[in-house]
Structures are given as structure tokens and as C-alpha cells.
Amino acid sequence: MVTKTEGGEEANGRRETILIEGIVKEISSRLDLQQRNEIPKLIGMKSSVRIITSFLKAGTGQSPEFLTIWGMAGIGKTFLANYVFKLHYRDFERSCFLEDIERRCTPPNGLLDLQKQLLKDIRVRSWMDIKDVDAGTLKIEKSLFRKRTLVVLDGINKFEQLDVLIGTKVFHPGSKIIITSKNGSLTEKCRLFDPQVPPNHTKHLLDGLNDKDSLQLLSWHAFGHSEPNEGDKELLIKVVKYCHGHPLALKVLGGSLRSEDATCEDILESLGKDINPDIIKVLKISFDTLPSEKDKELFKYIACLFVGEDRKFTEDILKACGICRSSGIKTLVNRCLLTVGWPDKLMMHQLLQDMGREIVHLESPKEPRKRSILLYDEECLDV
């Protein structure tokens, strides 16, 4: 009879472990190379990438470390977060990118499904065993405490989603959480943000592109190269001015130019009249998720009548009409539907103005007298 010694079994076990680890590293490196090759082309966001990279590489303390990327719908928050994630996820022991949380958490068991994906991505073996959200949160808290983890939560629109997806406990030192949201004040209500043990929290407001980068992005989506032909440049500049640095609008309108039936002249003629349905679909999410009907009414009135007006002047008029609450303008600013420029002037992106007017128009497309606001002289005369 031939028997193995205990020492021989241990040696064999070590060799098997080394072999398995080598195979895992080789497969991982090949998958990593493939994923890095899939990193999309970056135009006009290099400064934002540097800021977020600096956040990811910064030294850590004992408190949780968060970065919130916020801005209006379609401004490039998801693109930026995904770009940085693909650059740096290998710098962490575990990583997860949860995309489009706002949409995915609404169906039955949506939050539970998101929890399972997070646990699966950070390699928790028992992720399939969780039966309810509370058990999922408890398991996530334990997992985030054990490993240095990078988590990106894209499209958060309710602070309760943060409580469910990351819990309220201390993370492993070195872990980083990136959140994207259209609401700049949302994360302040998260239970993890305990005033007695404040987290290291950074906010990054994502603005639109400058004219040069906008022209490159428009040309890239229209013609497949970032430098436009001289013959098209004049017309493209007009499209750029209308889009006012909005990446989604530049992408959609650039893609429209690829159609054999579309020309720059066709698109220019429609600007300011018929907002592209793919653009309005994304922008309208911010309007639809406003917390009250009063806030929606306020947005419509400002979009249609008060852009460029003094803030106090506008508030006085709309409060007298029963439309504006004291917190109304602040809510719109936090939701990236409005900005307050100098000197205290109400400012709004052209696409948001067009969306507001389209919402009013759709209240009664054929009978202006049934709309809440009359915009044009001929409509007023007809009524």
C-alpha cells in the first residue's frame, strides 16, 4: 500500500494553489486588456478625469470616501464615471459599476436585483441566497468592510437607494464610492453621512463642453472624425451654439447627420422648434421626478417667461400667483434644471427651455386656450 505523508499533501496543495493563482492572473490580465481596449473616446472631459483620478489615488482615512458627480440630464455623468472606472478598477481588490439605478430600481424586486449584482461583482459567493433587501444590505456592509472596494452608483435619485445599496457602516480603509445624480443635495440625506463622523465627501459639478470640444464631438458622431470638413464647419458651428455644450444633444444631432435623408440645413431649420424626441426623453426625466406639482409648474413658468429675469422679481410675481414656494428655485437649482447667474439672474440651458415650452404645448396641441401658458403673439390674439 502506498500512502501520502501529511507534508507531501501540503506541498501538493501549495503547488496547486500557485498554479491556480497563476491561471487566474493570466485570465484576469487578458480580460483587463480587452476591457481597457473598450474604453470609449474621450472628448472635452480631461480636467474632470484628472479630478476624479486624484480622488481615487488620494490617501485615505478611517471615514468613508465619496465623490458625487452631478449635473443636468445628458451632460455626460455616466460616460465620465464609466471612463474613470475602466481606467482604475484594477487598482482595487474588488469593484462594481451599477448603471442606471433610477430606472432599474423601479420594477418589482429592482433594489434586490441591484444588491445581488453588487454582491456578485465584488465576489461574494452567497449573493444568490439573499431573499430580501434588509438581508442584502447587511451582507453588503460586511463585504465593504473586508475589502478595499471601488463602487460606482450611477443614476441615484433617492437617498433611500444609498441606504440600501451601501448601508450605514464603516468601509474598509481605501474604499471609494462614486455616485452620479441629477440632484446635488441628495447625498446629504444619506444615513451614512453622520454629522458626528462626517465622511470625506467631494462634489464635482459637470458642466457642458466648450465650443471647440463641442465641435469635435459633433463631428465625431456625424462623420467619424473629430475635425470637421471646412465645407461643413459653418453649419456645424450653428448646431454647436444651439446645443450649448450638451454632449447628448451633440451626439444625437450628430447621428442624425449620418442619415441619408437629413442635411445640416434640415437640422438647423428644426432647432428651437422641434426638439429631438431622443433628447427630450432624457431631459424630461428630471422634470418628471420633481418632488411636487408646484415645482413642475414653477419650472414651466420660468422656462417660458422668466429666463434672464431677476430672481427676486420672479419670485415675487410667482408667489403672488400662488405658483412659487420659498424653496422652489433652490429645488430646481439642485436638480440642475436652473442656475442663478450674476447678478442674481435666472439662467437655463436652451434645451431645457425648449423642453419646458414643449411640455406646455403638449397640454393642448391644437387648442392654445387650454394650455397653462400662452407663449406667442398669434396664440394670444387667437384666444
pLDDT of residue 172: 75
With beta carbons less than 8 A apart as the criterion, state whether 92 and 204 touch.
no
Q: Where in 138-241 does DSSP place strands (E)? A: 149-154, 176-181, 200-205
- CA 61, CA 201: separation in Å to the nearest integer? 12
Cβ-based neighbours of 213, under 8 Å, separated by 6 or more: 43, 44, 245
Report helix angle 247-256 to 211-223, nearest 10: 30
Mean pLDDT for the stretch of residues 122-134: 83
Per-residue pLDDT for 300 more than 90? yes
Q: Could you say which DSSP state residue 226 is in?
A: S
Burial class, 8, CB count within 10 angstroms (exposed 0-12 / middle 13-18 / buried 19+): exposed
Mean pLDDT for the stretch of residues 108-132: 86
**Confidence band for 36, pLDDT divided at 50, 70 and 90:** very low
Question: Could you report the per-residue pLDDT of 180-202, keeping only the tens digit for each?
Answer: 999 888 777 665 655 555 557 78
With beta carbons less than 8 A apart as the criterion, state whether 230 and 337 touch.
no
Helix, strand or coil for residue 98? strand
- CA 189, CA 291: separation in Å to the nearest integer? 15
Domains 43-205 and 281-382 share a fold: no
Mean pLDDT for the stretch of residues 257-284: 74
- CA 216, CA 230: separation in Å to the nearest integer? 13
The more confidently predicted of residues 199 and 279 is 279
Question: Per this entry, what is the length of the chain?
Answer: 383
Domain boundaries, the chain: 43-205, 211-271, 281-382
Q: Could you say which DSSP state residue 205 is in?
A: E
Mean pLDDT for the stretch of residues 256-262: 66
Cβ-based neighbours of 82, under 8 Å, separated by 6 or more: 40, 97, 99, 152, 154
Q: What is the CATH number of domain 281-382?
A: 1.10.10
- Please state which CATH class domain 43-205 belongs to: alpha beta
Question: Could you report the per-residue pLDDT of 85-99, keeping only the tens digit for each?
Answer: 999 998 898 999 999
Question: Is-above-0.85 flag for pTM?
Answer: no
Question: Could you report the per-residue pLDDT of 307-362, keeping only the tens digit for each?
Answer: 999 999 999 999 998 888 878 899 999 999 999 988 899 999 999 999 999 999 88
- CA 356, CA 358: separation in Å to the nearest integer? 5
pLDDT of residue 258: 72
Tell me what the pLDDT averaged over the chain comes to. Answer: 83
How far is Cα of residue 334 from the mean position of the Cα atoms in its chain?
14
pLDDT of residue 1: 46
- CA 279, CA 177: separation in Å to the nearest integer? 29
**Confidence band for 2, pLDDT divided at 50, 70 and 90:** very low
